[in-house]
Amino acid sequence: MKLNTVKDYLHANGYSEKPFMKKSAIINSEGKREISEINILPFKHIFISQSQKEVYILEEKECLFTSNELEKMDNLILTFIQFLSNKDAIKYNINLVLLCPFNKKQDQKELQKMLGFERNKYTCRKIFLDTSSKDFSEEMAILPSFPLDVHLVLKSTQIDSLSNKIKEVMDDNLYSALLKDAEELTLNQVLVALNSKGEAHNE
């Protein structure tokens, strides 16, 4: 299941699982008033950020989600939103992540119909991840708030060219200092060195 991969990814990025419960007064079978907790966001896999401002809801299927299933989830989230104040950041930062296979064996008409649901952002962001993808890490890069892992490989000639361009605008001492991993530079040191280089050019 790719669900566990996404859960691990969220945990690694500071998100934690959290149910959303609300206390409510009810009348029991004996006619007495008592306090009970109700689940106002009845999903099994809910993650919240450390800042308590963003929520991810995860759902996974081994086939496409149906229109009825999607509408039901949307209504559950809409009901949850009614419990939140306009000042609550979570109200505007709910992500519904839906995992299922997009392989060619699926009915393409049904697939496009399902993906069309992604455009409906009235209650929350809808994000579909293709569990049949050969590189699922690329699918997860779609998730908001997560940086893409980009690897840039330069040829030695390109590196030399970039180094020369940097030397043209940077003081030799500062350039040497930047090559030393152990040395820490302050913003003021950088500005002073660049200013000195500029004054030298002006003379």
- Choose the final residue of a domain: 113, 140, 167: 140
Provide the domain count of the chain.
2
Task: Give the mean pLDDT of 100-128.
Answer: 86
Q: Residue 122's pLDDT is what?
A: 85
Which is more confident, 78 or 183?
78
Does residue 103 share a domain with residue 20? yes
End-to-end, the C-alpha distance of the chain in Å comes to 67
89 belongs to a structural domain: yes
pLDDT band at residue 26, thresholds of 50, 70 and 90? confident
Which is more confident, 51 or 199?
51
Q: Residue 185's pLDDT is what?
A: 47
26 belongs to a structural domain: yes
Taking 80 as the threshold, does the pLDDT of residue 9 lie above it?
Answer: yes
Q: How far apart are CA 18 and CA 46, in angstroms?
A: 6
pLDDT band at residue 148, thresholds of 50, 70 and 90? very low
Beta bridge partner(s), residue 33: 27
Q: Residue 200's pLDDT is what?
A: 52
150 belongs to a structural domain: no
Taking 90 as the threshold, does the pLDDT of residue 71 lie above it?
Answer: yes
pTM: 0.68
- Choose the final residue of a domain: 140, 167, 187: 140
Q: How far apart are CA 148 and CA 139, in angstroms?
A: 11
92 belongs to a structural domain: yes
Which is more confident, 173 or 139?
139
pLDDT band at residue 100, thresholds of 50, 70 and 90? very high
> What sections of 37-179 are H helices per DSSP?
67-81, 108-116, 136-140, 156-169, 172-178
Does residue 129 share a domain with residue 42? yes
pLDDT tens for each residue of 120-133: 888 999 999 999 99
Does residue 116 share a domain with residue 17? yes
Q: What are phi and psi of 177, to 5 degrees?
A: -65, -35
Does residue 101 share a domain with residue 36? yes
Q: How far apart are CA 189 and CA 197, in angstroms?
A: 12
Does residue 122 share a domain with residue 94? yes
Task: Give the mean pLDDT of 32-42.
Answer: 89
Q: Which domain holds residue 173?
A: 156-202
Does residue 44 share a domain with residue 104? yes
Taking 80 as the threshold, does the pLDDT of residue 170 lie above it?
Answer: no
**Which burial class, exposed, middle or buried, applies to 96 when counting CB atoms under 10 A from its CB (0-12, 13-18, 19+)?**
buried
Does residue 61 share a domain with residue 9? yes
Does residue 161 share a domain with residue 129? no
Does residue 28 share a domain with residue 102? yes
Q: Residue 2's pLDDT is what?
A: 94
